[in-house]
Structures are given as structure tokens and as C-alpha cells.
Amino acid sequence: MADDREEILSRVRGALAPLKERARMPEYDGGLVLARSRRDAGDPMAEFAVRLRAVNGEVAADAAALAALLRARGWTRGYCDPALWPGLRAHFGPEFRVETAFDRTRVDDFQFGITRGAGAVAETGTIILADATTSSRLGALAPWAHVAVISRRDLLSDLTQAVAALGSDPNVIWCTGPSKTADVEGILIEGVHGPGVQIALFVD
């Protein structure tokens, strides 16, 4: 019995071991970006806001507005990327308890998570998260409310630009509004396996 158990576990360990060599990423035709034009494209920031709101996401005008939004909803306990917190701290009053380390043993204590977004897509209102720029995957996906702080220069016009800008990060997540599923009887439910509230904050 013990031998069978060890054989099974050794197979599992072998399957989970990192690959010696990663498979090559598919080639992307950069010419597609030039070939595709969007006649309806206007101000990318305004378009992004409209598209994100259409899928029940929100845009905070600035850090003060973000703090006011969280305060109004009673979300005062949360996580913030340690690189972002110095620039946000002044707008959060003493009623907030913000931690810069995400303790996975207390996952239910965090009402919101503030992490960096790798970019955003104006055409769809999509927020892009990547391992290279996300300080804590759980900090972005476990709390009820997620705030993605995105550089204005990383706001892309459309999906072809976004695909062309993917780079070599092995794990990229595209979030279009709060998490949602319609698996049960085709009824759309938000916040089932991820944040129920998705907020974007753009910074210079």
C-alpha cells in the first residue's frame, strides 16, 4: 500500500516539475495592427470608461475619489501593492486598515485589493493583469473589490494592439468587468470566482 502511494506521488511530482524547455510562443503578425482600423475610435480614456461601465465595472477619477468610493461602501480593510501605497496613503484616512503583504491565511479579512494593471483596452473596457506587474495574484483576485492602477501610457486602443503588446509574460489575465459566470441555467451571476467589483484607476 505504501509503495503504491509513493508511486502515485512520484508521478504527480514528475508531472508538476517545470519543463526543461518551454514551448515556443506562436508568431504574431504585427502587420495586423496596421491593417485594422477602427472608424469609431475616439478618445481612448472616454471610450474605456464607457465600455467598462457597460460590463458593470467602474473608473475612479483619482486616488481621492477611490478612497471616497471605498469609504462610502464600508470597505476599509484591504491590501495594496507596496510599490503603490506611498502614492495613495495620503488619501486614505485613519479608518482604513491597509496591508502591503497579502496573508493568504486571512484571505477573508481583505475587502479590497489594489494592484498594478499591466494595461487596459479601450475597445472592450478590459483590464490586463500580468505576473510581472502584479505583486500578489491573490490580492487581485480574492477580495470582493479589485482596484487596478494603470499607467495612462498603457491604455491601448484595441484588441490587436493589446495582443501585439503581450510580450513574454507566461501568465496574462484579461478582466472585462467583475468576474461572472452563466453556467447554471444561463443565469449571469457576478463575483462567483473572483472580484464582484472591478475598479480602474489611471495614473500618470
Query: CA-to-CA distance for 21 and 169, rounded, in angstroms?
Result: 15
**What is the percent of the chain with per-residue pLDDT over 70, rounded to a whole number?**
89
State the amino acid at position 180 in one-letter form: K
DSSP assigned state of 89: G
Assess contact for 189 and 48: CB atoms under 8 A.
no
Q: Which span out of 3-17, 25-39, 113-127, 163-177 was modeled with the highest average pLDDT?
A: 113-127
**What is the percent of the chain with per-residue pLDDT over 90, rounded to a whole number?**
59
Class at the top of the CATH hierarchy for domain 55-203: alpha beta
Q: pLDDT at position 2, please?
A: 67
- HSE (side-chain half, CA atoms, 13 Å) at 141: 17
- HSE (side-chain half, CA atoms, 13 Å) at 109: 11
Q: pLDDT at position 189, please?
A: 81
Identify the residue with better confidence: 6 or 27. Answer: 6
Torsion angle of alpha carbons 84, 88, 93, 95, nearest 10°?
Answer: -30
Q: pLDDT at position 190, please?
A: 80
Pairing verdict, β 197-203 and 58-60: parallel
* Residue range 42-53, pLDDT digits in tens: 789 999 999 999
State the amino acid at position 127 in one-letter form: I
pTM (two decimals): 0.80
* Residue range 145-160, pLDDT digits in tens: 999 999 999 999 998 8
**Mean pLDDT (whole number) for 34-42:** 58
State the amino acid at position 60 in one-letter form: A
